[in-house]
Amino acid sequence: MNLPADSTKSLKWRRRVLILALILGCVVFFLYLSQPDWLVPVTMVPPWLWIVPASVVLWLGWWKELRIEWRLLAACTLLFVVSYVEEFRSMTRLRSQPARDWRNDEDTSLNTIRVVSINCNGGNGRCLDEALAYEPDIILLQESPSSEKVAEFAKLAFGEEGNSLWNGDTSIVARGSIRAVHSQRGAPFVCGLVSLSRERNIAVVSLRLSAPAQRLDFWSRHFWVAYKDMRQNHRKQLKDMLAKLDQDKFATRWVIGGDFNSLAGDGAMSPLRERLRDSFRDAGTGWGGTGTNDMPLFRVDQIWTSQNILPMVVTSRRSQFSDHRLVVADFFVE
């Protein structure tokens, strides 16, 4: 069938757009898979954002004579979504949300614990009460209030069972005893062995990795170097933290959470992925973004656990006093 000249030009234009989009899609897929340090600004984009341009091209590119090209691009987009867009799973999980009065639930197991993580926005003490409202067993604080304020809060919250560990920027508050494993002032993490009962001893870490580079001059070489250095620094900080945990022979169960200042799928997280599980990826429900509170595009606040601590339900909650959203997570401790 002979097509009019205008239709032929339109067909050629659409084919070129589809082929170009397919090539770019394959490149993006490979970059998220390999996570090269020198292209951090590309892969630090939340994967779900790439669905927007792909959907537009698929919508504009449909033409019955281009079914093969269109289907290839659609298949590539679907593979990317299934592989890297965690919201594809979390938004469709039909699980009950963590309730504030969960301890009144008759089905609550003695081996179930709740962990809440919150960035206190420059030491805002009102964030402490906000976290306590979810009745947690363990609270992880970043940009923590003062040592005195955190210690006082632990006793007010949990009575004689309440204890805290503080190192300046990060803190741990728990309904149980805490033995310090690492609490060096100025370090990006604090670590303690929390004893919730005789049978449940958990190595707990609250961390806040170094702040991300604040640059937009992508045409400059220094822009790319700054983000590469940020990832390498995050990776080093995580390796140092894991090395401290390995030194404690009593730490057989691990809970590591806080403000990572990176996405959970970022290349900096490779030391964690080799040994731990990302609780939201396994059991997250709803929209998991935590940064910022008003526009949660990035899931920078996370909780990772060892394989013997099973995530049951994990979600993010809007905060009244922080610039980050809270992470609320329920776990079954084996």
Q: What is the CATH class of 106-333?
A: alpha beta
Domain boundaries, the chain: 5-85, 106-333
Find out whether 284 and 317 touch, Cβ atoms under 8 Å.
no
Q: What separation in angstroms does the CA of 248 have from each of 52, 209, 237, 276?
A: 46, 22, 18, 17
- Report phi then psi at 162, rounded to 5: -80, 135
pLDDT of residue 334: 82
**Rg of the chain's alpha carbons, rounded to an integer?**
23
Q: Which of 215, 236, 265 is nearest to 32 (CA)?
A: 265
Amino acid at 67: R
- pLDDT of res. 58: 84
C-alpha dihedral (296, 297, 299, 300), degrees to nearest 10: -90
How many other β-carbons are positioned within 10 Å of the β-carbon of residue 45? 14
User: What is the residue type of 236?
Assistant: K
pLDDT along the chain (334 residues), means of 10: 58 82 91 94 92 86 73 90 90 70 59 94 94 95 95 93 94 94 91 82 94 85 93 95 84 92 94 94 93 93 95 94 96 89
User: What residues contact 37, with CB distance under 8 A and at least 6 apart?
Assistant: 228, 231, 232, 267
Are residues 303 and 297 in contact, defined by beta-carbon separation less than 8 angstroms?
no
> Which pTM value belongs to this model?
0.90
